[in-house]
Structure 1
Amino acid sequence: MATYILIPGAGGDAWYWHRLIPHLHQRGHEAIAVDLPAGDDSAGLQDYADTVVDAAGQRRGLVVVAQSMGGLTAPLVCGRLPVSRLVLVNAMIPAPGETGQDWWTNTGQDQARRECDVREGRSPDEPFDPLVYFFHDVPEDITKEAMAGESPQSGAPFEQPWPLGAWPDVPTEVLSSREDRLFPVEFQIRTAQHRLGVTPKTLPGGHLVALSQPEALTAALDR
C-alpha cells in the first residue's frame, strides 16, 4: 500500500481530487488531498509546502502527486518528507530562481497554447475561458459544481523566485494529458525533457484529468 499526497493546482482546492481518491482506495492505497492557502495574499510557496508537510504527518513511503501549479510546491516538500516518488500531472516544472510569472514565457507556454488554439480552430486572441481550456472534457455536473465553488488564487506565489538550487534527488515521473489545451502535450514533453531529462507518459483527457479521467489517472499512478 502506498500513501498518495495529492497537491492541487491554482485555487488550492482539495476537492479537485475527489473523483480520483475512491479509485486509489479501491486499489488499497491511502490518499490525502491537501487544501492549500491559495486565497491568502500573505502565503508564499514555503507556506504551501508547510501545509503539505502538515497534512502528511508522520506517514512514510509517500508518493507526492502535483497538478498544474502544484508543480511549484511539490519539489519543496521532498527534502522534508520521506518521499519515494514524485509525480507531476500536467504540471509546471520550475527552474531554480525562476518566478512563476516568468515561467510562462521562459518555457514557451504562451506560444504553445496559441499554436494549439490555431491548430484546433480556436482564436488565440479570445478572452481566456476556463470552460474552454479546463472543462471541455469534464462531465457537466462536475463542471457546474466546480464553477459554483471556484476558489481564488493569490498571485503571491507566482512573484517569488523558486527557492531550490536544483531538482530534488527523488524519482520523478511526468504524466501529460493528450487533450490538454492549457499545457499542450507536445509542450509538456519538450519542457520535461529539457528541464528534467524525463519523457512524460501520456494519458487521455484534458488539463483537469483527475476530474475527467480519474480511472485512467489512477492506472497511471498505480503503475
Structure 2
Amino acid sequence: MATFVLLHGSFHAAWNWHKLVPLLNAAGHQAIALDLPGHGADRTKPREASLDRCVDTVLAAVARIEGPVILVAHSRNGIVISQAAERQPQRIAGLVYLAAYLVPDGKSMMEYALLDKESLVVRNVIPALSEARAARLIRWFKRPLLRWLVPRLLPGAMQSHRLNRRVYKEALYHDCADEITALAHTLLQSEPNWAGFTPLQLSQARFGSVPKIYIECLQDRAVTIGLQRQMQRETPCDRVYTLDSGHSPFFSQPGGLALILDRAFAPGATVDAGYSSCRSA
C-alpha cells in the first residue's frame, strides 16, 4: 500500500483533506496532510515562506517516513512537489497534480496564473495585483540576488494576499455543501506571495524520472480547465484522470478522488465511471 503526503493549495492548510484522509486510510494506505509554511499551525512569516522553505518542509516530512512516498498537491502547490522531486527523486514514487500548477523548468506559477483570464481567484485577490506589477516581479525573481532582496525590502502589506470573501463559494466551492463555505470563512488564511514568483529549476534526469499523474477538474473556476490542459500539453504526465467537479473535489467528491488515488499507480489502473472518467495522457 502507498504512503500519500498531501499538500493543500492557496489559502488552505492540512484541514482541507479531512474528508479524504480517512478514506485513504480505510483503503489500507497511509495519508499524511501537511501545513506548509505560513499556513495552519505553521507560523512562518510571509516574507520567509519561500519556495525553498516549502520544499524543505515537505522533504523533512518525507525523511520521517520509511520507504518512497507519493506527493499529492492541490492547485498552487504543484510547484512544490515538482521542486521536491527534483531535489530527491529517489524518495518519491509518484507525483499527483490535482487541478495543480504543472510548471516547466525556468517558469514560475505566476506566469501561468496570469494566463488564466477566466479564473475567479486571479481577479479577486486582495490587494489586487496589476499585470504590469506582476510582470516586474516575475522579471526580478529570475535574478537570484533580487529574489533574496525583494522580500526583505517590501512592506508587510505586499508580502501576502488573500481571496475576497465574497467569492469563496463561487470560486472554490460552488459544487460543495454550504458547510464547507462556512468552514472556509473561519479557516482560510492569507497566502504568502514569493513562492509563486520563483522560477522552478527542474531537469529531465531528476524531476523527469518521477512518474506523474494529473487529475483535472472540469468545472474548476480557480485553475480553469483550459489552463490545466495547456500545462498538461507542455509537461505531459503518464496518465490523466478527469473529475466532473469544481476546484475542491476533496470536499465535493472525496470518494471519487480517493478511488483515483487508490488505483492511480497500479499497473493497468482503471477508475469506475460512477466516480470519474479516465483518459490516457
Equivalent residue letter for 2:102: I
Alpha-carbon distance between aligned partners in 2 of 1:28 and 1:159, rounded to the nearest angstrom: 38
Which of these two proteins has the greater Rg computed from alpha carbons? 2
**Secondary structure of residue in 2 paired with 1:69:** helix
TM-score where L is the length of structure 2? 0.68
Q: 1:4–1:63: 8 Å Cα contact kept in structure 2? A: yes
Of 174, 187, 210 in structure 1, the residue corresponding to residue 214 of structure 2 is: 174
- Matched with 1:52 is 58
Measured after TM superposition, the shift of residue 77 of structure 1 is 1.8
Task: Give the count of matched residue pairs.
Answer: 208
- 2:31 corresponds in structure 1 to 31
Q: Please say if residues 12 and 187 of structure 2, whose CA atoms lie closer than 8 Å, have aligned partners that are also in contact.
A: no
Judge conservation of contact 1:175–1:200 (CA < 8 Å) in 2.
yes
Partner of 1:75: 82
Letter of the aligned partner of 1:52 in structure 2?
A: V
**Structure 2 counterpart of 1:212, from 252, 259, 262:** 252
Q: 1:63 aligns with which of 40, 57, 70?
A: 70
1:164 is displaced (CA, Å) by: 2.4
Contact kept in structure 1, 2:213 and 2:237, CA below 8 Å: no
Q: Match for 1:9: what amino acid?
A: G
Shift of the alpha carbon at 1:61? Answer: 2.6
- How far is 1:59 from its partner? 2.4
Contact 2:72 2:96 in 1 (8 A): yes
1:63 partner letter? I
Question: Contact 2:104–2:234 (CA<8 Å) still a contact in 1?
Answer: no
Letter in 2 for 1:161: P
Whether the aligned pair in 2 keeps the contact of 1:23 and 1:218 (CA below 8 Å) is yes
Tell me which amino acid in the other structure corresponds to 2:177: P
Deviation at 1:7, TM superposition (A): 0.9
What is the rounded CA distance, in whole Å, between the counterparts of 1:186 and 1:198 in structure 2? 19
Tell me which residue corresponds to 2:139.
none
Equivalent in the alignment of 1:103:
112
Cα separation, 1, equivalents of 2:12 and 2:186: 15
Q: Which runs of 5+ in 2 are unaligned?
A: 40-44, 121-163, 264-281
Deviations 1:79-128 (A, max 9, x none): 326111111000001121212222223xx322x548xxxxxxxxxxxx88
Q: Distance in 2 between matches of 1:158 and 1:191?
A: 16
Asked whether 1:164 is paired with 2:202, we answer yes
8 Å CA contact 2:4, 2:29 repeated in 1: yes
What amino acid is the match of 1:55? A
Q: Aligned partners of 2:107 and 2:201: how far apart in 1?
A: 8
Q: Distance in 2 between matches of 1:64 and 1:160?
A: 20
The alignment-based identity, stated in percent, is 27
**Are the counterparts in 2 of residues 2 and 62 from structure 1 also a CA contact under 8 Å?**
yes
- 3-state DSSP class of the match of 1:65? strand
Q: Quote how far apart the aligned CAs of 1:12 are.
A: 4.9
CA gap of 1:58–1:198, structure 2 versus 1, over 3 A, is closer
